[in-house]
Amino acid sequence: MFSLAELEAAKKQVYGVQPPTPQYQWPLLSAVVGTELWVKHENHTATGAFKIRGGITFMHWLRSNHPNVKGIVTATRGNHGQSQARAAKALGLSATIVVPHGNSSEKNQAMQAFGATVVVHGNDFDAARLRAKHIAETQGLFLVPPFHAEIVKGVASYALELFDSVDAIDTVYVPIGCGSGICGLIAARDALGLDTQIVGVVSTAANAAKRSFESGVITETGSANTFADGMAVRAPIAESFAMYRAGAARIVEVSDDEVANAIRAYFRCTHNVAEGAGAAALAAAIQEKEQLSGKRVAVILCGGNIDTSVFAEVLSGITPKVTV
């Protein structure tokens, strides 16, 4: 695990590029959950998601430890890719980002705008990840993994901000994709010596992390077909799984209908835009509202990068369908 000094040093690196994001208690949203609810607004970063933090610290590490690297390659559903493309460009490196078929067109466009070459391969993140590995091996690019200790150190800066700003949080809900978000929270909580419960959130259509958490053995699902693409992974990353299995209180499943309802609640109550994974933590808090009464609760709005057409569907009352 990481010391507080290590996390503070990483936070300074992050703040050289990305200022802190706010955390607000919205009265209307608290009323939806029935308790004091705080929202950590990672949708307010320069890439619209928390991943930028890990991109910054990872590139600091890469520059120090692999100074001769000319370019990177990684797989993503969008937010990790934006962070890596932006950070690579700042260092004068090329960035190749592999995404699956059907990936968010607007996330793809954002990655290209940050200077990345976007390669489309496979039907899901896990297939894209294998392609990224092949490209790294054949083109001599540095393979950026979806989870890395240096990424977690940077991501933990959002958790330090939250815990420094809001005292005595009983429970924090956070979505799980590849795991840097929940692991950053766990790292910050433990470094600060807090007893806050951290609850992971997955999709009912991509629940490998919950199955693995409860069995103690990494389990893979046959598919991950959810419009909450930031959670659409078929199997946990071993290193992140080890951290959240030891440090999380539990993992909650939410349906696409619940996620869509949470997106609408965010917009209605705060006029903030949340992508699918970004709304998942709120969906879980709404699901568990009866056991949260009288508690101080926080949810991580991890990103707001939802395609315009998908957002319009959700606001009209429709739950988007995923076809592969």
pLDDT at 313 (0 to 100): 97
End-of-domain residue from the set 96, 120, 143: 143
| pLDDT, tens digit (0-9, with 9 covering 90-100), for 181-231 | 999 999 999 999 999 999 999 999 999 999 999 999 999 999 899 999 999
Dump the DSSP string for 74-86: EE-SSHHHHHHHH
Q: Does 64 lie in the same domain as 16?
A: no
End-of-domain residue from the set 110, 143, 176: 143
Alpha-carbon distance 199 to 213, whole Å? 12
> Residue 118: CB partners within 8 Å, gap ≥ 6?
81, 97, 98, 99, 108, 111, 112
pLDDT at 87 (0 to 100): 85
Contact 311, 228 (CB under 8 A): no
Q: What are phi and psi of 24, to 5 degrees?
A: -125, 150
Alpha-carbon distance 54 to 277, whole Å? 17
> What's 158's domain CATH number?
3.40.50.1100
CA of 243: how far to CAs of 40, 104, 185, 213, 254, in Å? Answer: 22, 29, 11, 11, 22
Q: Does 302 lie in the same domain as 277?
A: yes
Q: Does 248 lie in the same domain as 166?
A: yes
End-of-domain residue from the set 103, 127, 143: 143
Q: Does 135 lie in the same domain as 153?
A: no
pLDDT at 25 (0 to 100): 98
| Residue located via tokens 């992971």 | 200
Helices (H), the chain: 4-15, 27-33, 51-65, 79-90, 105-113, 125-139, 149-165, 180-192, 208-215, 238-247, 256-270, 276-287, 289-292, 308-315
> What end-to-end distance do the CA atoms of the chain give, in Å?
38
Contact 177, 34 (CB under 8 A): no
Contact 173, 298 (CB under 8 A): yes
Q: What are phi and psi of 87, to 5 degrees?
A: -70, -40
Instruction: Work out the number of other CB atoms within 10 angstroms of the CB of residue 262.
Output: 29
Q: Does 197 lie in the same domain as 87?
A: no
Share of the chain above pLDDT 90, in %: 87
pLDDT at 323 (0 to 100): 65
Regions of the chain where pLDDT drops below 50: none
Q: Does 125 lie in the same domain as 28?
A: no
Alpha-carbon distance 128 to 141, whole Å? 16
Q: Does 236 lie in the same domain as 121?
A: no
Instruction: Work out the number of other CB atoms within 10 angstroms of the CB of residue 133.
Output: 16
pLDDT at 324 (0 to 100): 58
Q: How many domains does the chain have?
A: 2
Q: Does 271 lie in the same domain as 235?
A: yes
Q: Supply the range of the domain harboring residue 12.
A: 4-50+149-315
